[in-house]
Amino acid sequence: MVEGRISSMLDIGVGIEPDASGWDNIRFRGYLQRQTPAELKVKAPEIAAFSELGEFLDAPVRCYSSGMYVRLAFSIATAIEPEILLVDEVFSAGDASFQKKASDRMMSLMEKARILVMAAHDLTTLNNLCESGIWLDHGQVRMEGPIRKVTAAYDEHMRSAVASAVAA
């Protein structure tokens, strides 16, 4: 059994209340992430600054664009420093500037986390961030081992599948 403070970024929108303001959602999600009111008092301004949503934090989240929604959810989800980090394809959040900022934050979180579990299809990201990998195919382990070997096998499999489909 592994114990520790967990942060899940599998669905960063979980727990976001559309009729509540951005500020309220910072508090709601903070409580769900086991933050105390005192911790949130310190973290809320940091979350707000990172999200770059400014005055929009006063508006209901249902009025946000999808990019604004992702900025808020990502900013809240990454505000704690987990020991175990679960990640699923989160590097595509927002515009280019925010993606760079989000990537930098993720790198910082990953350096601090003891365990990282990442689900992704971006082989470059996986090769840059992971040491070992597991290739799942329809829920079954197809291969596990050093990340570069696993991603190379996956890449070769996908290229063969595409070539077969084109030839047919």
Q: Which of 78, 65, 90, 83 is CA-nearest to residue 11?
A: 90
The whole-angstrom separation of Cα 27 and Cα 4 is 22
Amino acid at 102: A
Average pLDDT by stretches of 10, the chain with 168 residues: 68 84 94 87 95 97 92 85 74 72 80 79 85 92 97 95 86
Question: Rounded to 5 degrees, what angle do the CA atoms 32, 53, 125 make?
Answer: 70
Buried b / exposed e along 2-28 (16+ C-beta atoms within 10 A): eeeebbbbeebeebbeeeebbbebbbe
Query: What is the pLDDT, as a whole number, of residue 144?
Result: 97
Q: What pLDDT shows up at residue 102? A: 81
Q: Where are the domains of the chain?
A: 13-86+103-118, 120-168
Question: How do 132-137 and 140-146 pair as beta strands?
Answer: antiparallel
pTM: 0.72
Query: How does DSSP assign 41-64, residue by residue?
Result: HHHHHHHHHHHT-GGGGGSBGGGS
Query: Which pLDDT does position 97 carry in this prediction?
Result: 83
pLDDT, residue 100, reads 83
Give the per-residue pLDDT at 92. Answer: 59
Q: Which of 10, 16, 116 is nearest to 57 (CA)?
A: 16
Coil, helix or strand for 124?
helix
CATH numeric code, 13-86+103-118? 3.40.50.300
Please report the pLDDT score of residue 93 as a whole number: 59
